[in-house]
Amino acid sequence: MFEKYSKRKLVGSSITTVVSLSLVLFMLGLLGIIVLNTRKLSDNLKENIGIQLILNENAKEVDVQHLSKVLDASDYVKSTKLVTKEDAAKRLQDDLGEDFINFLGYNPLLPSINIHLKAAYANTDSLVWIEKDILESKLIKEFVYQKSLVSMINENVEKISLVILIFSGLLMVIALALINNTIRLSIYSKRFIIKTMQLVGATQGFVRRPFVLKGIKHGIYGAVIAILMLVAVLYFAQKQLPELAELQDETMLINLFGLVILIGIIISWISTSLAVRKYLRLKSDDLYY
């Protein structure tokens, strides 16, 4: 009867530990997804900032095509699009709702190349030297972009990133404390077993090994459950908001899930080792307090 009770108690303790680990790791994984998607969303915003390179009217088509290819091959440009005088006129006619060319008798618009920068270069400091570099070409007349928009996006991204970083740090500390306390309570219930093994001559390494291995298993089980919960949350979130699918990166998610498993293993390993070592150092009389 006592053996059944003890076994049931140990199983219950293991289940509690795994469930606690999985919930904490789920929170950490969810925060990781939010952080990564926030970064990706900010990158998308930056990469959608349009820059218009107004070309000289006498620019030859061959030279313009060559310039477009050079820009495409540069480190800071994500994409380019050539807009001819005719394309620009058609777009303006659609916006105005009337044919201004017939009214003026000619097309006053100049050809241009619309470019989008890579996120890392879409900031005020980089745009200063990029503008200087691009304007060295004699084909380009003007370098046009909304400076206020660039500044506003970068300032807001920095503020949001700082808030998320602080929140992430606090949650990480809380999560580590919760996991550590859960494992310590689990080891506390086995403190008499630990001391008994030590009294019959078992070395500290021998006593610690099975507990650490079990702790690592709990960490892996908890991480797997947390990953399954994260997959379910992502699935239902994308069902409600299909636009979220565009932000998802499979490689990023796989790396994040791998990190969740690694965190589960490392925290369980360290916390279990420290908890067991504590009870190995205690005197027999102190085990009752």
Q: Domain residue spans in the chain? A: 2-44+153-288, 50-145
pTM: 0.64
Structure tokens belonging to residue 127: 């745009």
- Cα-based angle 229, 235, 239 (whole degrees, multiple of 5): 145
32-36, 66-70, 77-81, 262-266, range with the lowest pLDDT: 32-36
For the segment 132-139, the average pLDDT, to the nearest whole number, is: 86
Specify the pLDDT at position 227: 92
The CATH number of domain 50-145 is 3.30.70.3040: yes
Residue 287 or residue 134, greater confidence? 134
Dihedral sign of CA atoms 11, 17, 23, 25 in order: negative
- Strand residues in 32-71 grouped as ranges (E): 50-55
- Whole-angstrom Cα distance, residue 161 to residue 151? 15
pLDDT above 60: residue 4 = no
Which of 30, 5, 13, 36 lies closest to 190, judged by CA? Answer: 13
For the segment 167-191, the average pLDDT, to the nearest whole number, is: 72
